[in-house]
C-alpha cells in the first residue's frame, strides 16, 4: 500500500506489535535510512507515539531523513448508513 501511494520502499525494519522502541533502535533505523539515501522514514501513527519520547536526545540533523506518519482513514463506498447505525446503536439494520 505504501509503495502504491508514495513510491519505492528501500528497506524495512519489522518489530513485534506493542514493541517498546529504544533510542538505539531508532538511531539504527535513522542511520540505515541515511545509508540507503531514503527520502523519508515512514512509521505508523501508533508507532510514532512510541518513538516520540526516545527521539529526544538523538543526533538528528539536517541530513536525517524526515519521519513521516501517514494518517489512515476509512471511506465506505456502500453501506455507510448501516455501518453508522451499527456503530451508534449496536444493532444491525436491513
Q: Residue 94: which pLDDT band, with cuts at 50, 70 and 90? A: low
> pLDDT tens across 16-38, in order?
988 999 999 999 999 999 999 99
CA pair distance 49, 21, nearest whole angstrom: 10
Give CA separation, 80 vs 48, 54, 88, 89, 93, in Å: 30, 40, 12, 14, 11
Q: Cα 43 vs. chain centroid, distance in angstroms?
A: 3
pLDDT of 5:
77
pLDDT of residue 54: 84
DSSP state of 72: P
On average, the pLDDT of the chain sits at 86
Q: pTM surpassing 0.85?
A: no
Rounded average pLDDT over 62-74 = 85
Cα-Cα-Cα-Cα dihedral of 49, 55, 60, 62, to 10°?
Answer: 20
Amino acid at each position: 500500500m505504501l509503495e502504491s501511494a508514495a513510491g519505492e520502499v528501500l528497506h524495512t525494519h519489522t518489530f513485534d506489535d506493542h514493541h517498546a522502541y529504544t533510542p538505539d533502535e531508532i538511531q539504527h533505523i535513522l542511520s540505515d535510512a541515511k545509508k540507503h539515501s531514503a527520502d523519508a522514514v515512514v512509521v505508523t501513527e501508533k508507532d510514532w507515539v512510541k518513538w516520540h519520547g526516545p527521539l529526544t536526545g538523538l543526533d538528528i540533523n539536517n541530513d536525517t531523513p524526515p519521519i513521516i506518519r501517514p494518517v489512515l482513514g476509512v471511506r465506505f463506498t456502500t453501506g455507510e448508513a448501516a455501518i453508522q447505525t451499527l456503530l451508534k446503536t449496536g444493532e444491525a439494520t436491513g
